[in-house]
Every structure is written in structure tokens, then in C-alpha cells.
Amino acid sequence: MDESAALETTAARAVETADRDRVLWSDADREWASRAAAAIVGERASAEEFLGRRAQLVLERVGTRQPAVTRTVRGIRWRPWVGVVTVIAAFVLGLLIDRIGGGSSINLLAPPVFALVAWNLVVYVWLLVRPLVLRRGAAGPVRSVLIRAASVRVSGDSSRADAATAARRTVLAALPRDWARVAAPFYGARAARVLHLAAAATALGLIAGLYLRGLAFEYRASWESTFLGAEQVHALLAVTLAPGSWLTGIPVPDVAAIEAIRAPASENAAIWMHLMAGTVAVVVIIPRLVLALVAGLVERRRAKNVVLPLDEPYYRRLIAGWVGEPARVRVIPYSYTLEPEARAGLEAIVARAYGNAAATIDEPVAWGDDWVSPDAAGQPQTVLPLFSLTATPEDDAHGAFLAASGTTVALVDESAFLARWGDDAQRRDDRRTAWRELLEAHGSVPVFVDLADPDLAAAEAQLAAAASAHEGNGRPDGRSR
């Protein structure tokens, strides 16, 4: 999926997941979008093609109702002029540097050219060690700033404090965050490309300004030092200007020549300017252009092959409905027998969170029994352990069950607790904390629900967030964790 389709698909996801109460986009709208997209792309299309076409339909219809959503999508797209302006500004910055040492005199031991070279060498070292000190995919401050600069934050009309306004605000807040997560790989390469080009432009502007001013003014080269003599200065310049000497074929003057221009003496700086320009070209301009080319190739490849988190329940549900193979959801109560009312609430939550999933609710696992997963015929499935908040969490029992199931999300029903202790907030918070500590110790995220009176929107959001937190942690047996 290319960048444009990925952005539209992410925007459609933001609309359908952030609008929990179906204010902007109803269930009927969702079903229409899926049916229409399936009819358009046909049976031979890929899942990405189906999702991309469906996203277009979602945004087209939502845009007629909430123009702020489509404005945000347009505003968040990458604008190439941002990179062009950045590079031009960098060149002008280099061009306008009007001091090389001091006035028309070049201090050979302290020209800004050497500072530019030193800074770029530090950058090259950082690029080499960065993979060792930062986790893979981590965004540095410069990359984060560039991503924000390339995006326009669009806020909706706040004059109407109704449900639609609140839903729109939630969608507009979720979209940039979701897109930053999806776009991070190629936006990182894009930021690198722009910054490498800007660095090369700064160096080129500095050299261009140096030569342009040299046409109207005579630069004089000299040096002075409290601690260094002519031999040490010659050795230092021979190393520092070696790249420029190699490129231009101009040798660095010998010790006697350097001694002869010790302050207050000086000489015409043309030779030194050529050596400095050659050094900047070899150390800064050429490497930066090569790095920009590499970053550009990486950016192009990644922008044409954007990877969406298709393991998320949202995408799994859409794809399963399109191919006609419903997702498999299996709920396993542990030492907890569901009342009919609670079972109905559980079925409603599963239907809301997983769509037309083929859901099964197992017989309760007895206290202390080991749980063994039966053969699922090689088909992936989502396993949801179900506990009761009235039970005291114990590692030997509940912990062992979690370890055997290997799940990363678990439901904790509060209905029996509320029926027994009512609205005792302190007691409920204490019990929630105990369950949260046990589940997190076994790598699971708790989702607290009241099956007797379920908040379907909240349960759907919590299950989606829990699945996103464990994105990519699929089990080797094919079962979704």
C-alpha cells in the first residue's frame, strides 16, 4: 500500500475507532462501506486494495458531513515544498555568513569552515553509533520536529458543544497520532533526506559566499597562537586540509611558508580558500549528497510499501468480513459460571469489538485445573480469559492459567462484585489494582467490564487499545494472543 492509500486507511480507522458512540459514522454506514468496497474491488483484490478503496468511500461520505475530517487528511499529507524551502533556506544561511575569521582576514586556525567540517564529522560518527544506543525505530528530536512541521493541525468548530462536536474532536486528535505511528519508518528516511540536503546546501552556500566576496575584497591569510609554533600549525593544517589538497592538487604550504605569515604578517588567501573549499566538498558536500540519495531511495521504497498493523482487531474484522471467513474469538471463563444476563452482555461485547466473529464461550475451567488448548485446526483465533472481580487473584491458580493460555488480554467481569458490594469505589479500586498487578506480571492487559450492563463503546476501545499495545506479538502456533 502506498503512502496516500495508507493515510486514507488510517484516517478511516480513526473515524471508526474514535467515534465510539457512532455519532459521525453509524453501523449502517460501516456495513455500506464494506459492501460497496467489496463490490468495486472484486474477489481477486488484495486485502490492502479492499481497505484502501473502502477508506476512500468512508472519507467521501464523512467529508460531506464533517468537512474538518477531510481537511485534516489533506493537511496532514506531506508537502514537498517543505523540503525545498528547508534546503533553500540552508543555502541562503551559508551564503550570508559574512565573517571568515574576522573581516577580510582569515585566521587559519579558526575559520568557520573548520567548525562546519567538525560538526559534520560528529554527525557521521553519530550515524554510525546511533543504532547501538537507540532502540530500532526510535524517533529523535529532529525527526519528530520535522514530522510536526510537515503537518497542519486542524481543529473543528468549537461553537457547538454537542455529541457530534465531541466525536469530531476525538477523531481529529486520534488521526495525527495514529498516522505518526504508521508513517514513522518512511518519515524518518524523509527527514534524513531533507536534513542531508540542507547540510550540503549550507556548505555550498558558505563556499559560494566566500568566493563571491573574494571577487570584490582581498582576503588575507594569517595565523597566531599562544601555544603552537609553525611546525605544529603546519602539521595541523596538513591533516585538516588533506582532503582539499587531494581534490585540488594544491599542496599545503611548508613550515617556512607558514612561519612567514604568522601575525602580523599575512598573504593573499586564494590558495587557502581553494584548500578549504576542496575540504568542504570532500568531507561535507559529497558525503551528504550520497547520504541524501540513499535516504531518498529508502524513503521511496518505504512510502510505496507502507505496512499497516493488519493484526489489529479493527483490520482483522474488516478483512474477515470481506473474505467471508469470520474471525474466531474464544472466551474461557476461569472458575466462573456465567449467568444468562452476563452471558448476553459478553456476547454483545464480542459482537461489538470483533464484528461478525465466530465466537465461542467455553465451559468454565475449574479452580486449579490446568488449561490445555484443543486443536483449532490451524486457524488463528483470539483467546480471552474471563475472570470475576469477586475472586481474589492468586498466582498459583490464576497466574498458572494465564501462563498456560499465553494471552495478552483478559476480561475481568465486575457485575457480581457490583451486585454484592454496590458502589464501594475504594473496595473496587483495591480489587482492580490486585488483578491488574497479577495480569501485568504475566504480560496481560486487563479489560474491566460489567457484563450485566456493559458499556460497549468503552469495552471496544479498551480491547482495541490492548491489542495495539501488543501488536506483532503473534504466537508461533498461529493463535492471536
Give pLDDT tens digits for 108-123: 887 788 889 999 999 9
Indicate whether 167 pLDDT > 70. yes
Indicate whether 141 pLDDT > 70. no
Give the model's pLDDT for residue 70.
92
- pLDDT (tens digit, 9 = 90+) per residue, 300-352? 999 999 999 888 878 888 887 887 666 678 889 998 898 889 999 998 888 88
**In this structure, what C-alpha cell is assigned to residue 195?**
536534513
Q: Is residue 445 part of a domain?
A: yes
What is the rounded distance in angstroms from the CA atom of residue 92 to the CA atom of residue 209?
9
Orientation of helix 3-18 relative to helix 47-65, angle to 10°:
60
- pLDDT band, residue 405 (cuts 50/70/90): confident
Please check whether residue 205 is in contact with residue 90, taking contact to mean a CB–CB distance below 8 angstroms.
yes
Give the model's pLDDT for residue 111.
77
Reported pTM: 0.72
**CATH number of the domain encompassing residue 447:** 3.40.50
Orientation of helix 141-149 relative to helix 163-216, angle to 10°:
110
Task: For residue 375, give its domain range.
Answer: 327-474
Give the model's pLDDT for residue 356.
65
Give me the mean pLDDT over the 56-61 stretch: 95
Give the model's pLDDT for residue 286.
96
Q: Is residue 180 part of a domain?
A: no
Q: Which residues pair with 267 in a beta bridge?
A: 221
Q: Is residue 430 part of a domain?
A: yes
Mark 361-371 as b/e (b = at least 16 C-beta within 10 Å). beeebeeeeeb
Q: Which phi-psi region, left, alpha or beta, contains residue 89 (left: φ > 0; alpha: ψ -120 to 50)? A: alpha
Q: Is residue 364 part of a domain?
A: yes
| 3-state SS class at 268 | strand
Give me the mean pLDDT over the 292-296 stretch: 96
Please check whether residue 120 is in contact with residue 286, taking contact to mean a CB–CB distance below 8 angstroms.
no
Give the model's pLDDT for residue 7.
95
Q: Assign 3-class secondary structure to 354-408.
A: HCCCEEEECCCECCCCCCCCCCCCCCCCEEEEEEECCCCCCHHHHHHHHHHHCCC
DSSP string, 303-359: HHSPPP-TTSHHHHHHHHHHHT---EEEEEEBS-PPPHHHHHHHHHHHHHHHSS-EE
Q: Is residue 102 part of a domain?
A: no
Q: Where are the alpha helices (DSSP H) in 229-312?
A: 230-240, 242-248, 255-260, 270-280, 286-304
Q: Where are the alpha helices (DSSP H) in 140-280?
A: 141-149, 163-216, 230-240, 242-248, 255-260, 270-280
- pLDDT (tens digit, 9 = 90+) per residue, 371-387? 656 544 445 678 889 99
What is the rounded distance in angstroms from the CA atom of residue 457 to the CA atom of residue 465?
12
Indicate whether 475 pLDDT > 70. no
Please check whether residue 180 is in contact with residue 164, taking contact to mean a CB–CB distance below 8 angstroms.
no
Q: Is residue 406 part of a domain?
A: yes
Strands in 44-149 per DSSP E: 105-107
Give me the mean pLDDT over the 401-412 stretch: 85
Give the model's pLDDT for residue 49.
94
| 3-state SS class at 199 | helix
- pLDDT (tens digit, 9 = 90+) per residue, 259-282? 999 999 989 989 999 999 999 999
Q: Is residue 261 part of a domain?
A: no
Give the model's pLDDT for residue 295.
95
Q: What is the mean pLDDT of the chain?
A: 84
Q: Is residue 288 part of a domain?
A: no
Indicate whether 65 pLDDT > 60. yes
What is the rounded distance in angstroms from the CA atom of residue 327 to the CA atom of residue 310?
13
| 3-state SS class at 261 | coil
What is the rounded distance in angstroms from the CA atom of residue 418 to the CA atom of residue 424?
8
Which residue is listed with cell 457485575?
Answer: 415
Give the model's pLDDT for residue 156.
45
Number of domains in the chain: 1
Nearest of 411, 381, 384 to residue 320 by alpha carbon: 381
